[in-house]
């Protein structure tokens, strides 16, 4: 199950699919509670992978409403698609991503 052409889906539908995909991956790997929540990810957050080393970051869901973060999601869809097993991977250097999330907080 991947994200369909994002231009045909509302922003809310795309975000819902991203969160569902991340949840399904955690379920598949036994990394969640009985309620379906990831063991190490607080409520209201999700995981992204960034950089050449695919470093894992836990970010607030509220970032999904920010234009800067949406641009990264669009780049991720263009570069990687959402049909891969690594999780939500963003095409961005770690230093740039860290600077971005610092400015969003």
Query: Which residues are within 8 A (CB) of 31 and not within 5 positions of it... i.e. 6 or more apart?
Result: 38, 39, 40
State residue 84's pLDDT score.
64
* Nearest-10 Cα torsion for 19, 23, 26, 28: -130
> Is position 1 within any domain?
no
**Tens of pLDDT, residues 21-48:** 665 555 555 555 555 555 778 888 888 9
> Is position 69 within any domain?
yes
State residue 28's pLDDT score.
59
> Is position 67 within any domain?
yes
State residue 6's pLDDT score.
45
State residue 59's pLDDT score.
92
* C-beta of residue 42 within 8 angstroms of C-beta of residue 58: yes
> Is position 79 within any domain?
yes
* C-beta of residue 48 within 8 angstroms of C-beta of residue 92: no
> Is position 75 within any domain?
yes
Structural domain count, the chain:
1
> Is position 68 within any domain?
yes
Q: Containing domain of residue 87, as a range?
A: 6-104
Spans of the chain, pLDDT less than 50: 1-6
DSSP state letters, 4-55: --GGGS-HHHHHHHHHHHHHHHHHHTT-B-TTS-BTTS-TTEEEEEETTTTE
């Amino acid at each position: 199950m991947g994200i369909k052409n994002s231009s045909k889906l509302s922003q809310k539908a795309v975000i819902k699919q991203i969160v569902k995909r991340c949840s399904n991956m955690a379920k598949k790997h036994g990394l969640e509670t009985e309620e379906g929540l990831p063991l190490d990810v607080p409520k209201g957050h999700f995981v992204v992978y960034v950089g050449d080393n695919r470093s894992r970051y836990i970010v607030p869901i509220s970032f999904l409403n920010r234009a800067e973060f949406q641009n990264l999601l669009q780049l991720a869809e263009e570069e990687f698609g959402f049909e891969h097993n690594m999780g939500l991977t963003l095409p961005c250097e770690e230093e740039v991503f860290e600077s971005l999330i610092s400015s969003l907080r």
